[in-house]
Amino acid sequence: MLRKVFGSAVFGIEATIITVEVNIDKGIGYHLVGLPDNAIKESNYRIAAALQHNGYKIPGKKITINMAPADMRKEGSAYDLTLAMGILAASEQIKADNLADYLIMGELSLDGTLQPIKGALPIAIKAKEAGFKGFILPAENAKEAAIVSGLEVYSVTDIKEVIAYFNENTPLQPTVVNIADEFAKALEFPEFDFADVKGQESIKRSMEIAAAGGHNIILIGPPGSGKTMLAKRLPSILPPMTLDEALETTKIHSVTGRTINSGIMNARPFRSPHHTISDVALVGGGAYPQPGEISMAHNGVLFLDELPEFKRSVLEVMRQPLEDREVTISRAKFTVTYPSSFMLVASMNPSPGGYFNDPDAPVATSPAEMQRYLSKISGPLLDRIDIHIEVTPVPFEKLSEERKGERSTIIRERVNKARRIQTNRFEKLPNIHYNAQMNTKQIRMYCQLDEASLQLLKSAMERLNLSARAYDRILKVARTIADLEEAEQINGTHISEAIQYRSLDREGWLS
């Protein structure tokens, strides 16, 4: 007898419906076709043990299973429950009148209990689009899948519950998630708060500007000056995610299995990969494509600590995603695209020893060593970083103060106001939401200067020997500073402050 049951494959961050056709006929054998990987080929052992422990069996006949579309590679153990239900239905051990109304996924343990799967959210979205009545999956994934409205999501802990649902009409209660409540659980009092930072007022100001305009930022300072501590607090002042942003971010984390036992992601991600990371781990890919760190940081922050310690090849592959805000992985047999719209926060020592131009430095650095160290950061990568800020150690008097600094929630209110101004400004422009995304044409349109401001910028570029790449960056940052002050026009004060945030363009840093 031939029966059909439905599962799903995730490719990139999008799901595809997989039709599992099970045919049982006279003869002996077990044939699984349709480009399954080794985990799926081994499923018959898990299925046999699980059915035996629950009073059922794989029939001793010729079983042919086709996973369609047959030219798409399928991977993972999440098809165990799909295959098992197809075998039971085709061998008439259970009723299967409405089996085709449901999408069924889950990994089987040998005793029949279910293990969680990856990609529950994109699969649920696809199930709704395909018109399925419901989605049956392991309990650990139910909260995530139930985010999708208009689809009944049934959580089960073992195969007995699924069999009882179809065979005996034993009811399953659909999982219900209040998206508004889940989304409202964003941290009002974040774990890392700027109130805990002593001193560093100018650095906090620069990070507020970076957050307000979505600007990439690099912190340059000696060891122990607080670069990492400051970077960890940046997400606490970023605007809360919109529902669309939260869903897209959750989809990316879902396909890597990081959303098990959790619902929608309501906090912006903060990713901090080690400097030994490989190209593939950073941008994504592999034999079975997975999103990399830059996609895991989508709608959040990617922090690269000690930037010159990263391999140059790793930094170079990041250039295009920084510009396009997505990364496309192309191989001979597949092409996938992952979103990667993130804020880059980098940190570095000013020299190999960490104490450039410090008369009390324990280790002196020669000009040749300085040049080798700084040349690890290419000009094109530096081009994509709007704000360069020097971080100096906090003096003892500041460290010993008991007075708390300004809370992140207060800073975030100012950031939100500036972002709303930018949203209104760019509402008619596609794919532009904040100042950092402006191209040259839009900079000329929205960053016009009066004669005095223009002369100030010209004088500064000549006297400080600023490079040509600094010009547009200064205008973008000045536009954000003006937005924070709710000023329509950029004036000399905004330009003066923006010029301070181009340390690495000055003579003596990078040639």
Q: Which sign does the torsion angle of CA 429, 434, 437, 439 carry?
A: positive
> Which pLDDT score is estimated for 186?
58
Paired residues of 138 in beta bridges: 156
In the chain, CATH 3.30.230.10 sits at 2-177
* Alpha-carbon gap, residue 43 to 20, rounded angstroms: 14
Tokens standing for residue 505:
């363009």
> Which pLDDT score is estimated for 218?
94
- Kindly give, in sequence order, each residue whose CB lies less than 8 Å from that of residue 379, ignoring residues fewer than 6 positions away: 469, 510
The residue count for the chain: 511
In the chain, CATH 3.40.50.300 sits at 194-505
> Which pLDDT score is estimated for 356?
53
AA letter at 16: T
Q: Which strand (E) or helix (H) includes residue 312?
A: helix 312-317
* Alpha-carbon gap, residue 175 to 154, rounded angstroms: 6
Task: Supply the angle between the helices 451-463 and 469-484 in degrees, to the nearest 10.
Answer: 130
> Which pLDDT score is estimated for 271?
95
Q: Domain 2-177 belongs to what topology?
A: Ribosomal Protein S5; domain 2 (3.30.230)
> Which pLDDT score is estimated for 361?
55
Paired residues of 154 in beta bridges: 136, 174
The string of pLDDT tens digits covering residues 238-295 is 998 888 898 999 999 999 888 887 778 888 999 999 999 999 999 988 777 889 999 9
CB burial string 197-221: b at 16+ within 10 A, e below: bbbbeebbbbbbbbbbbbbbbbbbb
Give the number of other CB atoms < 10 A from CB of residue 268. Answer: 23
> Which pLDDT score is estimated for 397?
66
* Alpha-carbon gap, residue 482 to 498, rounded angstroms: 10
Residue numbers of the chain with a pLDDT score lower than 50 = 359, 507-511
> Which pLDDT score is estimated for 189?
61
**What percent of the residues of the chain are helix, what percent strand, and what percent coil, each to the nearest 5?**
40, 20, 40
Q: For 473-498, what is the HEC assignment? A: HHHHHHHHHHHHCCCCCECHHHHHHH
Q: Domain 194-505 belongs to what topology?
A: Rossmann fold (3.40.50)
